[in-house]
Structure formats: C-alpha cells, structure tokens
Structure 1
Amino acid sequence: MTEAPRGRFPAHDSPPGATYLGDGRTAFSVWAPLHTQIDLSLLDPTPRSVPMQRDPFGYWRVTLDAVPPGTRYFYQIDGHEQRPDPASRCQPEGVHGPSAVVDPAYTWHDAAWQGIPLRDYVVYELHVGTFTPEGTFDAIIPHLAHLKELGISAIELMPVAHFPGERNWGYDGVYFYAPHTAYGGVDGLKRLVDACHQHGMAVILDVVYNHFGPEGNYLWSLARPFFTDRYHTPWGDAINYDGPESGPVRHFIIANALSWFREYHIDALRLDATHEIYDYSPIHILDEMADEARKLAQQTGRPAYLIAEGYAPRLVTPRAKGGHDLDAHWADHFHHALHVVFTGERLGYMAAFAGLEHLALAYRQAHVFTSDTHTETDPPLAPMPNARPDQFVVCFQNHDQVGNRPVGDRKGALLTFEQLKLAAGALLLAPFIPLLFMGEEYAEPAPFQFFTDHSDPDLVRGVREGRKQEFAAFVAAHGVELPDPQDVATFVRSKLNHELRSGGRHKVLRDLYRELLRLRRELPALHAEALTDLETVVDAAAGTLCLHRRNGPHHVWIALNFAATPVALAPPAGSWELLLDSAAARWDDPATPATRCDPDLLAAHSVKMWVGNGS
C-alpha cells in the first residue's frame, strides 16, 4: 500500500476539527483531499465565509480571531454544498445541522485519581438514555454512591458519540469527537467522569472504530478516501486503515481515542467489533493505538486501557508472539456456555455450546475452543499458556445478549429467582473481570429493546424490515409482535425503575450481589493471578460443576448445582468453612420462602462456597 509517511501528519495530540485556543481565537482543520476549494462558513454572530488553505496532505486549515465558543459553522465544498465538521465537538442542531466551537476548559477535581488496576475492575455497563428518567450524564451522578456501595469499581458507558436523533444504542454514531447533546454534551460527560473518580470508580467508554452510522456521515462527501471497498463489513465499506490516503484516516481515529483519555479523563476504551477492523499494513491500527495509549499513560501517570470486543486470543497476546497486546478483551464464550446450561437455547452461534463441560472450559481458559466455536479466520487455538484472569471480561448479561433478543427480554424473564442467584455466583466467583448490565443486580424487569430515532424515511423502513426478517422465525413460532425501533414507546419501555432495588426479591438479589462482591474483594483465594490457579470438577449426570480456586496457601471450593434437585456434594479432604449458601434463609424471596433441604446437601439451583486450606 502507498501512503505518505505517518510522521509527517499532525501529531496525535493535535486532532482535526475546531480547536479553541482562548481569547476568542479558534483553529480549524479538516481533511478533504479530493476537493479544490474549502471555505469556512461562519453562521454567527455575523455570517461570513473565509477561504481555507490546503497543505500537501489534503488538510484544509485556517485560524481566526473573534470566533468564540458557541460559534456555529459549516464547511463549504467547492463553492457549493455546506457540510458539518466530521470532527465536530458539538452538534447542537443534530447530525445535519451546523457544528459549534467548544471551549475545552474544565475545572477538574480528580487530581488525586491515579486509576485502578484491571484486576480490581467490576464493570457496570449502562446506556445513558435509559439508565435514568432524564437520560443524561448528570442524572447518573446521584446513583454512583449506590453502585459504589454495591461493589462496582468501573462504569462502562455505551457509545455516546453524536448519533441521529435523541435515542439510539449509540452504534450509529457519526461525530466521533462529540458527546451527544441530548446526554449533556462535552461538559456533562466531564462532570460524570469527575464524579466517578471522586467516588473511586473508573470509567470505560464504548467506542466504534469499525464503521460510521448510516445517517449524517458527511465524511463520504468531504473525504471519500476515508472508506474502502476492498473489505466489506455488515455496515458497508470498511474504514480505510491500510490503503492509499490511509495516514490521515489513522490520525483521525487514534487522535480520537487519545482525546477521550486526555480531554475527558476516561480510564479505558472498549473497542467495538474489532473483527470488523481490517488492516494488513505493517503496523496494525490496533498496535499503533495501543502504543500511543501507553505513551499517554506514562505521560499522565494514569492508565489508558484498551479493551477489545472480540474473542481471538491474539488481541491480548504480546506483540512479539504475533498479537496486538491490548489490555483485555470480552470473552463472550463464557456467557454462551452459561446461557445454554441455564436455558437450553442453542439458536445461532449458541448452537456450538452444550453442557457443563463447555462451561468448565470457559472457567479454565475464558474461551471454549472446539471445532464448532471458531471461524475460518480464527481457527481452533490452544489456551494461552500465561493468560491472566484480568485479560478477559465476562458477563451473563450485556447490551448485546439482552438487546439483540427479539423482544429484548432479560434473564429475569427466563430464569427462576433461585437460578438468578446461582447465576450471580457463577459470574462473580469466576476469576475474570465481571461485567454487569444495568439493573441485572436487582432483576430489573424492563426489557432492553432496540431503538432508533432516524429522520430518513427510507432508513427507518429499512431498519424495520431488517428486524422483521432477522426474527421472522421467532415471530412465527411465538406469535409475538416485534417492538418498533422507531417508536418512542420502545425507548421508554427500556428505562430502568431504580426504586425496585429497595424492596422484595429485588433487594434480596441486590444484597446477594453485594455480598458476593465483598467476598470477591476480601478473599485472597479469589485474587489468583493465573488461570492455572483454578481447577474444575464436572458431574454432568448430577448437573454440578465445582471450582477449586487457590492463591498460595489460600483456597476456596465453589459448588454450583444447575439441577432441579438437591445433591450430596462437599469439598475434598481438608479444613473448610462454609462462607456462602445461596439457598440459606437470608437469600429467600420474601414473597415465596424456599423449602429447606438437608443442610448437608447442595440445594437445587444453588451455589455454596467454602474457604480453607485444601489438602
């Protein structure tokens, strides 16, 4: 591939767009390599047009006085159409309206914050728009004390980059540098991050570097080489990371990643669908991003973690062994194996998972590498020999595994109360970084459904028809009506009711999550630093799976009964003390107290944990 030397592009600490320099002075930069004239069209206070100057690499620039924060502007292309700034920091009138200059100044209160190690992360994924009635960054802040008390150490925000309309999952973002104004914009996000750090909690931001959304993406007209038809993604042409003119594309993306760390004090980025990022250049975009993030972390003294969505071990394998050396990645096989054990559902990619043996594999190596759980591009692989538990993020619910079900039903709609308690133990006593999906800890009954707010009628029609085709078999089999993504009621149905966590079975479940997280923090045996510090014992006929976890002289024995009947099961020889029994009276549903079984038995759908020294 041919491209200009990367070192001659702007430094990664000089992102494109409008940079406010203070005293009313603003610098503008936009990459538009195929055009012969770009003018800056200022809309207020007095409309005027200012020619921009082109450099040898296709960037157009101008720096002006008397352009204060709030000034709205377009770029005019070749004397004709006007377009918003693809690197806009604020879109006050939506994806098709003018961009606005933003003052980045903010008085931070987190000078003492130095981050926390990944091994201490307990992640709480949330969608800003549905987490509270207000649906804003600021509205999350009053809930942070509750999350901290629960045992959460990091919140993960689904994508906030400006998307069409006011409601969306966030994966249709088209202005990667602009936190959505409906959520509270630049300052709102900074206030939330600042508050999290004051509570001792990290912030992970979900970012999408594999595609742009279908509405409001004006890079197509300003910088067509930003995309390539050499690779195809589910969303169309791929982002051009390795072809001609890819240098400015890489700069746009990496500068964006670093801006979240630098300007917003974000602690970690979750990189969406990395398997749809195509780059066959000598230095993969993920490698370059990781290098730049680590440089920034060294400069600031704060972590700048990169966590990938993707199951390929190469994501976290050291560079010297052919990997990208990212900090961690989502290990969805754990979810799939656990879901199949609980529900028996084996639709789609779940068909490759079956039985407790697969779940035991997931506990031992995070992934389930069999002939059925790989693709041509990711062949079966052996477990990573030196893998650390904190390189894997696992869950039992997340936005995908809930929201991509036909009606967005949560696990609470599929499992009994006893099974939900068992699931909590199965997740939180695993060695990996656990992720909870908002409301999971108290069995939030509201669904999390797929919702959009597009303005293009053809796009709205296409989304509706696409959902109908995807779930046609489900609709035919169950006679249900799919929720309309464009209907505001679909969005409203997905909002949480936090009052539930204070009473009844919801409070009991939340208290169990809190107790499990306390034990996770305090027991040395649950702090093991290698996957080899865990052994599994499976009895498929009885429906039980036992975990023996150890850290030096410290041991725990965890027994999980997935069967509907009690079983006789105890730890191996040694000195053991029972610390947890999910079937104990304190964890009963107040409305329907459980029938007690022999205390020497492992109750149906329950988890027990003993601490001791083993033998």
Structure 2
Amino acid sequence: MNHTRFGPEREGDLTRFRLYAPDTAAVGLEIDGAATVAMQKAGHGFFAAALPGLAPGARYRFRIGDGEAAVAVPDPASHGQAEDADGWSLVPAPLAPVPASPRRPWHEAIIAEVHVGTATPEGTFRALIDRLDHYRDAGFTVIELMPVADFAGRRNWGYDGVLLYAPDTAYGTPQDLRALVEAAHERGLGMMLDVVYNHFGPSGNYLPLYARSFFREDVDTPWGPAIDLENEAVRAFFTENAAYWLSEFGFDGLRFDAVHALATKGAETFLREMAAACRAVRPDAWLVLENHDNIAGWMTRDEQLYTAQWNDDWHHAFHVLASGERTGYYAPYARDPVAAAGRALAEGFVFQGDPYPDADGDPRGTPCTQLAPDAFVAFAQNHDHIGNRPLGDRLAATLAPERLAFLRFVLMLSPAIPLLFQGEEALLTQPFPFFCDFDGELAEAVRKGRRSEFADFFDAHGASFPDPLSEATFISAKLQAEDMRTPQARAELDAFSRLTEQRRKLVWPLAASGFLGSEHRRTEDALRIAWHFDAGTLVMVLNAGGRPVTIDPLTGFAGMPAGASLGGVLHEAGGNLTLDPFAAAVWSLAAA
C-alpha cells in the first residue's frame, strides 16, 4: 500500500518519514546513535525527511521544537515499537504481499471474540496460533481480535491504544500478527480486527503537543476533547489506518468501536470515507459497526457501506429474560422483555425511532425491517457485557444451566450472525474483569473511578472487588488449555459443536438466498418468529416464561422437518405446540 500521508515508507534504499505537526515550527528526526536531522516543511502541516541506508529495525523518533527544549516523541503512525508506546519507533521490515485466500460468505460467519493477552497463558500472537485448531474444530468460522494497537503499559483491554498502526509489543511483532492471520486462513478461519477511532488512550498520546488540531477543546467526550473529524488530515489518519490493517496484514474485516461517540461535525463524512477507503483495498471486506444510535442506513447493501452492526438490543432483551436483571442499561428493555426479544429476533433493532426511556426520552434508531438478519451481529455475552460488570463475571458463573442452554440455542439457530466471547463455547467461568497498566496519578484515578462506578457493590463485597491495576486481575482472566479438557467443558463443547452443525444445515442454505421479510407473533411469554427467504422459511418458537405455553407454530405445520429442539417441546393435537419454560424449537420450510 502507498501511504501518502502518514507513517514511514520504504523506497529502494530510502526510508521516507512524515509527521503531521502543524503546531510547531521545527521537527527533527533522531536515529538512535546518529545526529538529529532537521525535517523540512512539506505543506498542509506536514514535515518530511528521507534517509538512505536504514536497516529494518533501526530506532527512530521525532524531536518537537529546537535545541535543549525539544521533546522526543514516537511516530504516531509507527508500525512497531522497540519497547513501550512512548519509546523508540522502529523502521519497519517490508511485509510480503498478502497471499490470496478464499473465504466463506458473510452469512456463514460464526464469530469468536478473542483478547490476545488472555486467550492463552503466554498472551501472544504466536501462542494464539496454537489455539486456532480449537476454534475451527468447535465450529467457529471467524476470529475477531479485540484491539491490538500499541497502548501504554504491559496489559490492557485494547481500547486505550495511542499508536494505532503498531501492534502492541506485549503481543509480538508485526510479522507475528501477519503469521497469525495467515495461519487462521490456512485453517479456513476468517480474521477480523476491532479498531478504535473515537479516542486515544489517556497515556502515551503526544499529538496535543504538536497537532492540537486533531482535537476540539470545545467538544467534550467521556475520554476528553473530541477528535476533530472536520479536519481532512485527521480523517485521513484513521481511514489510512483501517486500509492498512486490511492490506498489510490480510484481515478480512474490521469492527469499528462506538461510532456513536464520534462527537464532531464530519462524522458522517468520515464514516463514508472509511467505508470507501476499506473497499478500495478489499472490496469484499466485512465492515461492522458498534453504534448505539441504531442507524439502519449504514447497512444498506446496495451502497456498499457497512456489512453489519453489533446488536446490543438483542443482548439486552435476552439478558433481561434469562437473568432477571432490570437495572442500568437493561431498564429500557425490562418494561416488556418478551416484546423486546421478539422484535430483536425478527427485525434487528428494538428501538427503531421509538422514544428511548432514559433521562431525555429522545427517539432512538431508524426502521430496519428491510435489512437481512445477517446485517446484525447478536451475542449473549461479549467483552463489554462481561468486563463492565463489577467482578467481570460470566453468565456461566451464575445462570441456571437450562437458561444458558436456551440463550445458546436461540443465538445459534436464529439467522443473525452469532458472536461468542472466548471460552463461552465451553461455558467457562473464568472472569474477564477490567484491567490496565498505568502509573502514578492516572493509575489511582482509574482505580477510584471503578470503585466509584460500583460504589454500592464495593461496599457490599469489599476486598473481593478486583483492582484493575493489579497484575493478578489480568492473570485471573487468562484461559488455560486444560480449561477446555474438563469433562464439563468437553460436554459443553460437544453441545456447541452440534449447534454449529445444525446452523450449517438449517440457517446457511436459507441465508444464502434473498431475504423477503419476517413476522413474529406472541402468545403469553412465548414467541413465534418466521424469517422468509427465497429458498424457504426459517421458523423458531420459544418460551421465555415460567410456565408452559401452547402456541400455533405456523399455518400448515406438520412436524419439524430438518428441525432442532431444546427441551420440553410437546406436540399437541390440532397442530399446536406446547413449550415448557425456556424451551425452543426451530425448523425450515421449503419455498412454495
């Protein structure tokens, strides 16, 4: 890929450097062990320099300002760091062209969300290669890595990245990441990467020192001043970054974190430019949004913008049904969780322009009934909804087995794209608490912030509350290979593999054809959903209540051809079904 704006480029024997630094009069290029070279103004706020004879791995950094007052900073578009995020950047070694690799269509995605640092004891890209066979054999078809961009310290969820082009050294080198992607492709697994463009982490970001125009001091966000997306150079920094992961490492797609938090004018332009930049290098890239605003238009397929959206509505509705929790962000779904679940299953968003029952009650979302089910990524858990709990506890630690089985059945056999968090396939109970590695006042601020957020819980549980700065908290989240070998884990893995096989037989053939629409009907606490495709209809019935319910499954019902069921599904005379609590069934009907 030709980087015209940001980051180092190799051109024959020359290495070209560029830095966007509109707020300083002088920039020097320092090569470890050599004299600093003055960089020249290159227009539009950029400084540039080109040096011959630099070997891959040579250490460099920029010096902002003149003389002894100059401040040394890393390259914000560094492709790799020698040590931590605030140290020397490395001249990159060229990566060979990405080998062509066939992949499955999007509707066949079964996604495992993985945090590199905790997915294995070693917490590295290379160690994760050795776990890929597990994910393939379990039935997953896609691995989605949580963010890997360089962050301050030795451990982090990944959402505090400050050098967005550099894989964090805690996980390995760029070559190690490339090897992981290629190893996944060799096993028939697609690879996605979570990227964060709504903020930089609180430690190790030097952009305000020399490029204040990256930010808007008059527009605040939960992370500080907003990134200024009205600035074309700023937008290009991020769109180039997205294209870089696709082209240089061979990722099949990206997940864009919290785009609703893009807080300045220019956000819509930015999202359109982002999709165009990604599709310029990978026309078939899977581009998935996280967007609390529920804007269906971003997933309109004929515009070739975004492929799908993480559907928190699905999670929230089913979490209320299964767990009974009704506070916090679950409260809007607790008014009628059965109705919310029916709409999430049949249509995608629960809120499609309806008033959102928060402090303001403003409308949220847009109509989405025209979208195919695979425009939504559904989940019973993910990193957020585990890790943002006070103890980082998983559902498997507290929820009754029949309710866990119910959630997995509905998730895996409805036609939205299913996502599970690492270990969920075996219903492991290891927590995934929030953790990071900051120093000094920032560390204490994080610690106090977490305690304040869960003050009532902390008062009740005292020392059991995990310290986010403690290495022990991080280690508690690590998965061990033997965790998957216990009799219980093996039984749950077998059950999950059967669900993935049933999905292949029931859902994939229909989802491969055109989507015609859906319908859903409620009887007491039971639901019947029908998704119509050119190739036929998928029907699901489920009972989320506490007592049996008899339901008309669908006109013309005559058994469950090519169907699957979960406990307590009883046939009755007259073609109706009686469903016990937390029972469900699904089957397909051929097109007329």
TM-score, normalised by the number of residues in structure 2 = 0.91
1:92-103 superposed matches below 5 A: 92-103=82-93
Partner in structure 1 of residue 162 of structure 2 = 174
Q: For structure 1, which runs of at least 5 residues remain unmatched after alignment?
A: 1-10, 585-595
Partner in structure 1 of residue 346 of structure 2 = 364
Partner in structure 1 of residue 374 of structure 2 = 390
Paired with 2:491 and 2:552, the residues of 1 have a C-alpha distance of 26
Give the match's secondary structure for 1:76. Answer: strand
Partner in structure 1 of residue 504 of structure 2 = 521
Q: Does 1:28 align with 2:17?
A: yes
The farther-off stretch of 372-381 and 161-170 is 372-381
Partner in structure 2 of residue 332 of structure 1 = 312
Deviation for aligned residue 1:311? 3.5
Give the match's secondary structure for 2:204. Answer: coil
Q: For each residue in 1:116-174, what CA deviation from the matched residue of structure 2 results, as whole angstroms up to 9, or x when unmatched?
A: 33222111101000000110111111222221222211111000000011110001100
Partner in structure 2 of residue 270 of structure 1 = 255
1:134-145 superposed matches below 5 A: 134-145=122-133
Deviation for aligned residue 1:37? 1.2
Structure 2 counterpart of 1:608, one-letter code: A
Deviation for aligned residue 1:567? 4.8
Partner in structure 2 of residue 7 of structure 1 = none
Shift of the 284–376 alpha-carbon distance from structure 1 to 2, 3 Å rule, reads farther
Partner in structure 2 of residue 6 of structure 1 = none
Q: Does 1:121 align with 2:121?
A: no
Partner in structure 1 of residue 585 of structure 2 = 608
Give the match's secondary structure for 1:193. Answer: helix
Pick the aligned partner of 1:534 from 512, 518, 531. Answer: 518
Shift of the 374–199 alpha-carbon distance from structure 1 to 2, 3 Å rule, reads farther
Shift of the 381–465 alpha-carbon distance from structure 1 to 2, 3 Å rule, reads closer
Say if 1:315 and 1:324, in contact at 8 Å, map to a contact too.
no
Say if 1:576 and 1:612, in contact at 8 Å, map to a contact too.
no
Pick the aligned partner of 2:321 from 337, 341, 345. Answer: 341
Q: For each residue in 1:581-600, what CA deviation from the matched residue of structure 2 results, as whole angstroms up to 9, or x when unmatched?
A: 3339xxxxxxxxxxx99998
Deviation for aligned residue 1:228? 1.1
Aligned residues: 578
Paired with 1:148 and 1:137, the residues of 2 have a C-alpha distance of 17
Say if 2:226 and 2:264, in contact at 8 Å, map to a contact too.
no
Partner in structure 2 of residue 249 of structure 1 = 234
Say if 1:138 and 1:188, in contact at 8 Å, map to a contact too.
yes
Partner in structure 2 of residue 511 of structure 1 = 494
1:399-438 superposed matches below 5 A: 399-438=383-422
The farther-off stretch of 414-423 and 570-579 is 570-579
Q: Does 1:220 align with 2:220?
A: no
Partner in structure 2 of residue 450 of structure 1 = 434
Give the match's secondary structure for 1:435. Answer: strand
Deviation for aligned residue 1:293? 1.8
Partner in structure 1 of residue 72 of structure 2 = 82
Q: For each residue in 1:510-557, what CA deviation from the matched residue of structure 2 results, as whole angstroms up to 9, or x when unmatched?
A: 2222222222222257527677543323233xx322333443463443
Partner in structure 2 of residue 546 of structure 1 = 528
* Alpha-carbon RMSD: 2.8
Pick the aligned partner of 1:492 from 475, 479, 501. Answer: 475
Q: Does 1:205 align with 2:193?
A: yes
Shift of the 325–130 alpha-carbon distance from structure 1 to 2, 3 Å rule, reads same
Shift of the 553–106 alpha-carbon distance from structure 1 to 2, 3 Å rule, reads closer
Pick the aligned partner of 1:40 from 29, 43, 46. Answer: 29
Deviation for aligned residue 1:204? 1.0
Give the match's secondary structure for 1:229. Answer: strand
Deviation for aligned residue 1:560? 2.0
Shift of the 291–39 alpha-carbon distance from structure 1 to 2, 3 Å rule, reads same
Partner in structure 1 of residue 219 of structure 2 = 231
Say if 1:421 and 1:509, in contact at 8 Å, map to a contact too.
no
Give the match's secondary structure for 1:17. Answer: coil
Q: For each residue in 1:15-58, what CA deviation from the matched residue of structure 2 results, as whole angstroms up to 9, or x when unmatched?
A: 412223354x3111111112111111111xx3221111112212
Q: Does 1:191 align with 2:193?
A: no
Structure 1 counterpart of 2:27, one-letter code: I
The farther-off stretch of 486-495 and 388-397 is 388-397
Say if 1:204 and 1:270, in contact at 8 Å, map to a contact too.
yes
Work out the percentage of aligned pairs sharing the same amino acid: 37
Q: Does 1:557 align with 2:560?
A: no
Give the match's secondary structure for 1:212. Answer: coil
Say if 2:318 and 2:341, in contact at 8 Å, map to a contact too.
yes
Shift of the 580–67 alpha-carbon distance from structure 1 to 2, 3 Å rule, reads same
Q: For each residue in 1:408-437, what CA deviation from the matched residue of structure 2 results, as whole angstroms up to 9, or x when unmatched?
A: 000112211121111101111222111111
Deviation for aligned residue 1:611? 4.1
Give the match's secondary structure for 1:353. Answer: helix
Paired with 1:339 and 1:318, the residues of 2 have a C-alpha distance of 25
Q: For each residue in 1:544-578, what CA deviation from the matched residue of structure 2 results, as whole angstroms up to 9, or x when unmatched?
A: 22333443463443232334555555744432236
Shift of the 371–282 alpha-carbon distance from structure 1 to 2, 3 Å rule, reads closer
Paired with 2:585 and 2:287, the residues of 1 have a C-alpha distance of 35
Give the match's secondary structure for 1:55. Answer: strand
**Which ranges of 4 or more aligned residues in structure 1 deviate by more than 6 Å?**
318-321, 374-378, 596-600
Say if 2:301 and 2:307, in contact at 8 Å, map to a contact too.
no
Paired with 2:238 and 2:578, the residues of 1 have a C-alpha distance of 56
Deviation for aligned residue 1:99? 1.1
1:138-177 superposed matches below 5 A: 138-177=126-165
Give the match's secondary structure for 1:284. Answer: helix
The farther-off stretch of 26-35 and 383-392 is 383-392
Shift of the 552–37 alpha-carbon distance from structure 1 to 2, 3 Å rule, reads closer
Deviation for aligned residue 1:450? 0.5
